[in-house]
Amino acid sequence: MLVKGVVFYQESDLPSEGKFLLEDFRLAVNNAIRAGLQARVTSRNALSRLAYKDFREQHPRMYAQHLVSAFEVACGNLKNHRKRSRKCVTVRIPFVKRLMMKAENQAYKLDRRSGIIDLPIRAGCHVELRLIVSQYHRKYLDDMALSLGSLTVLPDRVIVTFRKDAPKPFVPESALSLDTNERSLDGVFVEGDVVKAVKAEFPDIAIIQQRHHDRRRRLQKKKTNDRRTSRNLCRREGTREHRRIDYRLHQVADSVLKFAEERKSAIVLEDLKGIKSKRSKELNRRLSMWPRRKLHQIIEYKAQWKGIPVVKVDPRNSSRTCPICGRMQYSRMGTEFACECGWHLDRHINASINLLQTAISKGMAGGLRFNPGAFQHDAMMTLYAPSRGARSEPNGTSGIVGVT
């Protein structure tokens, strides 16, 4: 089952009954967290057995389904807390600060034509939330293959999740193999006997990371005497950085997927799991794996949603091997990979050829065949270039959950 959250804004402010509900819900979640911590319980059922009766007394008028869902949210928090406290000793006791509430799909009604949510608060009291519906939202509301999942209400917006069964991936007629680098995806596109280089560039992501890093450093220096302010400001910087980068990653992923969908390509990516570098702290930060992993996550997720096959391959030695004769190169190389047998190619593209060969040799790319010797050195296809990315700055409304 695939799940996608879609952000909606409301035509008017949340009605006051709704605001009270958010406050009650937060209180219930925090109470449940406390009860769970005391009893060392993290499963929802255990928590329910333990605390439901008291809860009913403390929140006598709250809609029962919401109370159950508060347990659910508390459980998520407790589980995270347990995971974190296993890793390190000093962890903050979990506490939900922001106003929110979550309703399971039986606990609210959404009229998919008009975009009006009917949210029960307690017996005899419902609120109506009128959503602003754009064309982007219509795509989800009108698609009856999608069923409704949970609803999250926040003071300024709501998130509706849509669910569907994962479509069966198509049988690939071509392949798109991509090597993921700090500033670009470089790779090859193979269709029949044609092998061409492809590129999707995102140089601004590294620049944004650097800029925000510098800013955080400056803030920390300036506010050394006020740790609370420093922490808050740094957090704000972090959120901004994530939003700006996320926006760009989605655009890159979308263009890659559009290309793959039109040409019925399987996508081959390196498996970034387990890669740990033993470099200096500074270099590590600069080459942070985070945006790359995130990019893979987005590509994989969106591909699943669209039924595009994605193959992940162990990248070991992919940048050192000659795809023609199989020799391994141990000396340092520049931007070009050159082999004794006469083969030479851009280092990153060479790596993507090796990824594709691994995928094919393991039978992971359907019945595709591929001859690296047929590589066309003079042709380059651009999947994404930042100039095409329209605005250089995202505005506030281009959701966090996905720009499609």
* Shortest Cβ 339–Zn ion spacing (Å): 3
310-330 burial, b at 16+ Cβ within 10 Å, e below that, comes to bbbbebeebbbbbbbeeeebe
Tell me which residue of 44, 14, 21 sits closest to 32, measured CA to CA.
44
Tell me which residue of 270, 283, 272 sits closest to 351, measured CA to CA.
270
Stretch that binds Zn ion, among 16-24, 145-153, 232-240, 338-346 (CB under 5 A): 338-346
What lies within 8 Å, CB to CB, of 386 at 6+ separation is: 201, 202, 203, 204, 248
Cα(58)–Cα(74) distance, integer angstroms: 16
Stretch that binds Zn ion, among 29-37, 226-234, 314-322, 380-388 (CB under 5 A): 314-322
Stretch that binds Zn ion, among 121-129, 187-195, 340-348, 356-364 (CB under 5 A): 340-348
- Residue closer to Zn ion by CB (options 209, 350) is 350
Tell me: does residue 375 bind Zn ion (CB under 5 A): no
What lies within 8 Å, CB to CB, of 134 at 6+ separation is: none
Do 190 and 174 touch, CB atoms closer than 8 A?
Answer: yes
* Shortest Cβ 372–Zn ion spacing (Å): 10
DSSP state of 308: -
- Residue closer to Zn ion by CB (options 132, 341) is 341
Residue with tokens 């979550």: 102
The total of other beta-carbon atoms located within 10 Å of residue 110's CB is: 20
- Residue closer to Zn ion by CB (options 124, 373) is 373
Residue of 132, 171, 325, 333 that binds Zn ion (CB under 5 A): 325
Stretch that binds Zn ion, among 21-29, 147-155, 333-341, 344-352 (CB under 5 A): 333-341
**Residue 234 DSSP SS3:** helix
Residue of 68, 116, 206, 324 that binds Zn ion (CB under 5 A): 324
Do 270 and 313 touch, CB atoms closer than 8 A?
Answer: yes
* Shortest Cβ 321–Zn ion spacing (Å): 9
* Shortest Cβ 350–Zn ion spacing (Å): 10
- Residue closer to Zn ion by CB (options 217, 327) is 327
* Shortest Cβ 325–Zn ion spacing (Å): 3
Residue of 260, 339, 355, 383 that binds Zn ion (CB under 5 A): 339
What lies within 8 Å, CB to CB, of 153 at 6+ separation is: 14, 18, 21, 22, 100, 101, 102, 103, 119, 129
Cα→Cα distances 381→50, 187, 200, 270, 371, Å:
61, 10, 9, 20, 19
Stretch that binds Zn ion, among 25-33, 249-257, 337-345, 362-370 (CB under 5 A): 337-345
Stretch that binds Zn ion, among 1-9, 173-181, 187-195, 332-340 (CB under 5 A): 332-340
Stretch that binds Zn ion, among 92-100, 221-229, 300-308, 325-333 (CB under 5 A): 325-333
Residue of 322, 349, 351, 355 that binds Zn ion (CB under 5 A): 322
Stretch that binds Zn ion, among 17-25, 107-115, 316-324, 387-395 (CB under 5 A): 316-324
* Shortest Cβ 355–Zn ion spacing (Å): 17
Tell me: does residue 343 bind Zn ion (CB under 5 A): yes
What is the token pair recorded at 66? Answer: 């919401």
- Which amino acid is located at 136 in the chain? Y
- Residue closer to Zn ion by CB (options 328, 390) is 328
What lies within 8 Å, CB to CB, of 30 at 6+ separation is: 74, 95, 96
DSSP state of 366: T
What lies within 8 Å, CB to CB, of 9 at 6+ separation is: 131, 132, 156, 157, 397
Count of residues engaged in binding Zn ion, rule: CB under 5 A: 7
- Residue closer to Zn ion by CB (options 67, 339) is 339
* Shortest Cβ 198–Zn ion spacing (Å): 23
- Residue closer to Zn ion by CB (options 27, 324) is 324
* Shortest Cβ 322–Zn ion spacing (Å): 3
- Residue closer to Zn ion by CB (options 333, 341) is 341
What lies within 8 Å, CB to CB, of 222 at 6+ separation is: 230
- Residue closer to Zn ion by CB (options 47, 355) is 355
Tell me: does residue 338 bind Zn ion (CB under 5 A): no
Q: Which residues bind Zn ion (CB under 5 A)?
A: 322, 324-325, 327, 339, 341, 343
